[in-house]
Amino acid sequence: MKIERMRTTGFWYLASPYSHPEPEVRAARAAAVLHASGKLLEAGIHVYSPIHATHAAAVEHELPKDHVFWLAFNKAFIDPAVGVVVAGIDGWTASEGVRQEITYAQQAGKPVYLLDDDGTLRAIGMQDIVDFAAIRDFTNDLAGMSPDHMARELEEISEKIEGDTAWQEALAAALRQSRLKGESR
């Protein structure tokens, strides 16, 4: 989907990862979401980013850094939003907060899109949420694996093991996601 097609009189909620034990990672994520916000605003898309709006206050006032503290606040902005755009920045697939924002928006019947770093938008569905959960615990193991490598690994494991394992589910999910990403370009 082209970003320009998202122009509306309302606003889009920009979900992104934030929570992390290292302040440098939180700062880098805030900078990355600021960049994503800028891309959308340049395209004429009205966007609200809770990270962009609250990062400085969170640092200055030492507010909690976990998604539990921020969830009610975030829901208050998802409710009036047209839909949710997920900034595809480092950590988004492992973020519990992003997963909860996506789920909440979808339960409310709102559209949810992923904004890749190249500016490509694609719809996110319930299968994506299941896939993200399956991948979350294996992010480091899957990093750097090509889709062909994942497919071979999945085939080998499936031949040796009866029943599904978490690793098989993660491989299958990562393959689906890599294929979807390839189709959206």
Domain shared by 16 and 75, yes or no: yes
Cα separation, 5 vs 7, in Å, equals 6
- Are residue 173 and residue 86 in the same domain, yes or no? no
Q: Which of 73, 99, 124 is the last residue of a domain?
A: 124
Q: Are residues 140 and 179 in the same domain?
A: yes
CATH number at residue 90: 3.40.50.10400
Reading the chain (185 residues) residue by residue, the pLDDT tens digits are: 556 667 777 899 999 988 888 989 988 998 999 999 998 888 888 999 988 888 778 778 888 777 777 788 889 999 999 999 999 888 888 888 888 999 999 999 999 999 887 778 888 877 777 777 777 667 777 777 888 888 888 888 777 776 667 777 778 877 877 776 665 44
Asked if residue 37 belongs to a domain, the reply is yes
Identify whether 106 is part of a domain.
Answer: yes
* Residues in contact with 9: Cβ distance below 8 Å, sequence separation at least 6, in sequence order: 46
Same-domain check for residues 120 and 140: no
Buried b (16+ CB within 10 A) or exposed e, 42-59: eeebebebbbbebbeebe
Same domain, 108 and 147: no
Beta strand pairing status for 84-87 and 47-48? unpaired
DSSP assignment string, the chain: --GGGG--SS-EEEE-----S-HHHHHHHHHHHHHHHHHHHHTT--EE-HHHHHHHHHHHTT---SHHHHHHHHHHHHTTSS-EEEE--TTTTT-HHHHHHHHHHHHTT--EEEE-TTS-EEE--HHHHHHHHHHHTTHHHHTT--HHHHHHHHHHHHHH-SS--HHHHHHHHHHHHHHHHHHT-
- Assess whether 19 and 80 both reside in one domain: yes
Whole-number Å distance between alpha carbons of 153 and 106: 33
Q: How far is CA 117 from CA 58, 89, 91, 181, in A?
A: 25, 7, 13, 12
pLDDT value at position 185? 42
Q: What are phi and psi of 109, to 5 degrees?
A: 80, 20
**Containing structural domain, residue 68:** 3-124
Is there a contact between 174 and 145 (Cβ–Cβ < 8 Å)? yes
In a domain, residue 129? The reply is no
Quick one: 106 and 146 in the same domain?
A: no
pLDDT tens profile 52-80:
888 778 778 888 777 777 788 889 999 99
114 with 95, same domain: the answer is yes
| Number of domains composing the chain | 2
pTM across the whole model = 0.74
What is the pLDDT, as a whole number, of residue 53?
80
Domain-located, residue 160: yes
